[in-house]
Amino acid sequence: MAILEIQNVTKVFEDNLVVDNISLNINQGEFFTLLGPSGCGKTTLLRMIAGFTRPDSGKILLDGIDITDLPPEKRPLHTIFQSYALFPHMSVFDNVAFSLKMAKWDKSKIVSQVAELLDDVKLTKFAKRYPHELSGGQRQRVAIARALVDRPRLLLLDEPLSALDARLRGHMHVELVKLQEETGVTFIYVTHDQSEALALSSRIAVMNLGNVEQLDKPQEVYSKPNTYFVADFLGKCNLLPAKVIAIKANRITLCVADILEFELEMDSLNNITVGQSGWYSIRPEKVKAKRREPEDAELFFAKAIVHGYYYYGEGTLYIFMLENGTKVQAMLANYKTEQASFFEDNAQVMLSFDPQAGSFIAR
């Protein structure tokens, strides 16, 4: 069931259309992410949900009730920003207890509720410390505990981990997902980091220039992007020029990069016609390379030569060149000890992939 409904919400700053008629529903208990490049309108949309910014038009409903005109302090939600605003003169315990004291909770109930949250964020031992005696990661955990302690309907998080180093961010990802599951609070998370969005979210809205380009589960937006932007923004991607040359039932035949021809099964054929141009998108890790032709009849293969490669640690990214010069990237996993390269420059190889592992994006 939808906890939050965003209906035709628009925001213009000066002449700048920052949020362009966005409509979407967020479900109860979701870890929902707004993902997009800097400046695409994520924070503005989040601030409208929080009530800090008023939409120029459109409505926002929480639990079916129109909250568009409700001031921020009347909304049953909390917001966490990149810069954690803890009260510096209060202990960790008092920071977390703050909203419960304001709501005049019973003292013994406050003690047990705060203890539970501190335990959840593994800060029980730090209850008496002050913010300046904590690391950045610990301070952010206090901010999260404080924001969850009165069980809000929504927790809004705007790039909350971007000040932390990569290792700490990884730890926090695991904790955030656990906290969200344990508390059942609906999270709306903003990030420009695609790997963070993929790892955390139950669903992702990919934003570009004030619009939502695709809204789906992480594995869907990653492997079946709807638009060129989504394919390109969510990590490395081969985006090969393609044209529909035949349609039969729910299958299309594509001519890709002028020399490859294969069939693709489609979930829907809406508006796709013979002659339609666009791109065939396939992630580099879905492309394999062998010295010889593979035997698997399911696979499509194409001759290529090695154009170059980059060592990435967990894999090596190869740039292959098809016979007509079109470049195709393949990420080959470094599963053997110290393996860094599989082929030398200009080596002849046979590329193979399952056409269904990629998707057709209409122009």
Ligand X SMILES: Nc1ncnc2c1ncn2[C@@H]1O[C@H](COP(=O)(O)OP(=O)(O)O)[C@@H](O)[C@H]1O
Footprint of ligand X on 36-75 (CB under 6 A): 36, 38-44
The verdict on 43 binding Mg ion (CB under 5 A) reads: yes
Q: How far is the CB of 189 from ligand X (least distance, A)?
A: 12
- Judging by DSSP bridges, how do beta strands 154-158 and 186-191 pair with one another? parallel
With beta carbons less than 8 A apart as the criterion, state whether 121 and 145 touch: yes
> Which of residues 81 and 300 has its CB atom nearest to ligand X in the complex?
81
* The entry of Mg ion, ligand X, none that residue 40 binds, CB within 5 to 8 Å by partner kind: ligand X
With beta carbons less than 8 A apart as the criterion, state whether 208 and 22 touch: no
The verdict on 6 binding ligand X (CB under 6 A) reads: no
Q: Residue with the closest Cβ to ligand X?
A: 43
* The entry of Mg ion, ligand X, none that residue 13 binds, CB within 5 to 8 Å by partner kind: ligand X
Footprint of ligand X on 16-35 (CB under 6 A): 16, 18
Footprint of ligand X on 260-299 (CB under 6 A): none
Q: How far is the CB of 240 from ligand X (least distance, A)?
A: 30
The verdict on 208 binding ligand X (CB under 6 A) reads: no
> Which of residues 81 and 130 has its CB atom nearest to Mg ion in the complex?
81
With beta carbons less than 8 A apart as the criterion, state whether 37 and 213 touch: no
Q: How far is the CB of 43 from Mg ion (least distance, A)?
A: 3
> Which of residues 36 and 225 has its CB atom nearest to ligand X in the complex?
36
Is the C-alpha dihedral spanning 324, 325, 330, 336 positive or negative? positive
115: tokens are 């203890």
- Residues near 65 by Cβ (< 8 Å), separated by ≥ 6? none
- For 188-206, b/e burial (b = at least 16 CB within 10 A) is bbbbbebebbbebbbbbbb
> Which of residues 82 and 334 has its CB atom nearest to ligand X in the complex?
82
Q: How far is the CB of 18 from ligand X (least distance, A)?
A: 4
> Which of residues 6 and 328 has its CB atom nearest to ligand X in the complex?
6
Q: Residue 223, Cα to own-chain centre: how many angstroms?
A: 13
Please tell me whether residue 326 adopts helix, strand or coil conformation. coil
Give the separation between CA 88 and CA 81, rounded to whole angstroms: 16
> Which of residues 17 and 319 has its CB atom nearest to ligand X in the complex?
17
The verdict on 201 binding Mg ion (CB under 5 A) reads: no
Q: How far is the CB of 188 from ligand X (least distance, A)?
A: 13
By rule CB under 5 A, what count of residues binds Mg ion? 1
> Which of residues 24 and 247 has its CB atom nearest to Mg ion in the complex?
24
> Which of residues 195 and 341 has its CB atom nearest to ligand X in the complex?
195
DSSP secondary structure, 231-258, as one string = HHHSS--EEEEEEEEEEETTEEEEEETT
What are the percentages of helix, strand and coil residues in the chain, rounded to 5?
25, 35, 35
Q: Which stretch binds Mg ion (CB under 5 A): 38-46, 237-245, 250-258, 316-324?
A: 38-46
Burial of 10 (0-12, 13-18, 19+ CB in 10 A): middle
User: How many CB atoms within 10 Å of residue 19?
Assistant: 26
What ranges make up the beta strands (E) of 51-142?
Answer: 57-62, 65-66, 77-80
Name the residue among 93, 191, 82, 78 with its Cα closest to residue 142.
Answer: 93
* The entry of ligand X, Mg ion, none that residue 311 binds, CB within 5 to 8 Å by partner kind: none
* The entry of ligand X, Mg ion, none that residue 197 binds, CB within 5 to 8 Å by partner kind: none
Name the residue among 102, 103, 98 with its Cα closest to residue 117.
Answer: 98
Q: How far is the CB of 18 from Mg ion (least distance, A)?
A: 11
By rule CB under 6 A, what count of residues binds ligand X? 11
Give the separation between CA 80 and CA 74, rounded to whole angstroms: 17
Q: How far is the CB of 44 from ligand X (least distance, A)?
A: 3
Please tell me whether residue 272 adopts helix, strand or coil conformation. coil
Q: Which stretch binds ligand X (CB under 6 A): 11-19, 240-248, 308-316, 352-360?
A: 11-19
Which residues in this chain contact ligand X in the complex, by CB under 6 A? 13, 16, 18, 36, 38-44
Which residues in this chain contact Mg ion in the complex, by CB under 5 A? 43
